[in-house]
Structure 1
Amino acid sequence: MKTKKVLLLLSNGFEAYEASVFTDVLGWNKQEGDGSTEVITCGLRKELKCTWNFTILPEIQLSDVDVTMFDALAIPGGFEEAGFYVDAFSEEFLSVIRKFDQEKKIIASVCVGALPLGKSGVLKGRKGTTYHLNNGLRQQELAAFGVQVMNQPIVVDKNLITSSCPSTALGVAFTLLEMLTSADNCRNVKNLMGFYPPYNTTN
């Protein structure tokens, strides 16, 4: 079975939870599911600090990425106050997004991770969503990039997955897994992770 490689593209100021759903869901699939997925972390810096000061060392630098070696791109959101948009709106970051889309590869984003998709131009004229609270400020920003903003938790437009807030992160990761593998395999991984059937607390 061919390994499906996912590039987890991290901006400085990313939200650790939104990144961890990809490593966990796709990691569970690698170990307990059909075994086909592998996640590679990537960033513009040798050391990245998330919104809440959790620090990671990405496995590769963005300048070393060969898009042809990957099957999908995953982008968690982050906080402006933590510097998220400095990396996420950089030309190098946006260029990789465009290359994945040109190759019709899956791009999965969580929350404001949709905004670099919008700024890159890949969402122009297409459906998407992003953080919906705070008076819809981020959705207005996404609309300004020519995106048809949908008030839905998760929006899939062909190869692009966007979502509205951190609570949708696991749903995005499972949507990505299903698109990379199959609905049956995704259900199996969900079951193994305890999402259903409902956890029985009785003895």
Structure 2
Amino acid sequence: MKKILLLLANGFEAYEASVFSDILDWNMVEGDGSTKLVTCGVQKKLICTGHLTVMPELLTSEVDVKEFDALAIPGGYESYGFYKDAYCDEFLSIIQKFSQSGKIIAAICVGALPLGKSGVLCGRQGTTYHLNNGYRQQQLASFGVNVVNQAMVIDGNIITSSSPATALDVSFKLLEMLTSSENCRRIKHLMGF
């Protein structure tokens, strides 16, 4: 069984989190049955976009990185307080521990910014939200990241992407990296892609 930690900051984007849970759950039910997603947050109750309330299964203080095979991070809205959680020491420490263990890290949109702030992308390639005159890409570059203006960038074990439109692609790539290309194609087909 492959366990994936879905690391959520307050103000995370509901759609970006849902693609991870949906695709990995399809794999559990219709695929090879090997992917279990576990939600995690800095707080016991998180408010995401659309004012949905989410109660994560684990707090960041309870995470044992050795129990997990991959880390997934959706982006979020600054106006909802996303960066307060995403830039806190506990959140960044989890990212660093996953990176030090060489585990897969998949971030959608501005979910790449805490990767940059944690230092795990310093000197590596990555991308993040590309609209609004590239403001978020400039922020990512300020962390020493070689920003590539592509929809999705894979540098070793780290996947980053440029917008919510890439969320499905990132989630399917994560599934492929955790299982196989054949299994990923099967899930895509069953989901109608």
Q: TM-score range by the shorter chain?
A: over 0.9
> Which residue number in structure 1 is paired with residue 31 of structure 2?
33
CA distance in 2, matches of 1:66, 1:155: 27
1:84-103 to 2 correspondences below 5 Å: 84-103=82-101
Q: Which amino acid aligns with 2:166?
A: T
1:12-161 to 2 correspondences below 5 Å: 12-161=10-159
Q: Could you list the runs of 5+ residues in structure 1 that have no partner in the other structure?
A: 196-203
Q: Which amino acid aligns with 1:132?
A: H
**1:126-152, Cα deviation, whole Å (9 max, x unpaired):** 000000000000000000001010110
Q: Which amino acid aligns with 2:37?
A: V
Q: Which amino acid aligns with 2:109?
A: C
Structure 1 moving runs of 4+ over 3 Å: none
CA distance in 1, matches of 2:24, 2:74: 15
CA distance in 1, matches of 2:59, 2:93: 14
CA distance in 2, matches of 1:177, 1:81: 31
> Which residue number in structure 2 is paired with residue 163 of structure 1?
161
| Shift of residue 60, structure 1, vs aligned partner | 1.0
| Shift of residue 51, structure 1, vs aligned partner | 2.3
Name the stretch that deviates more: 158-167 or 45-54.
45-54
CA-atom RMSD in angstroms: 0.4
Q: What SS does structure 1 have at the residue aligned with 2:134?
A: helix
What is the aligned length? 193
Task: Give the structure-1-normalised TM-score.
Answer: 0.94
Q: Which amino acid aligns with 1:152?
A: Q
Q: Could you list the runs of 5+ residues in structure 2 that have no partner in the other structure?
A: none
**1:104-158, Cα deviation, whole Å (9 max, x unpaired):** 0000000000000000000000000000000000000000001010110000000
Task: Give the structure-2-normalised TM-score.
Answer: 0.99
State, as a whole percentage, how many aligned pairs show the same letter.
68
**1:40-80, Cα deviation, whole Å (9 max, x unpaired):** 00001110000221111111111000000000000000010
> Which residue number in structure 2 is paired with residue 200 of structure 1?
none
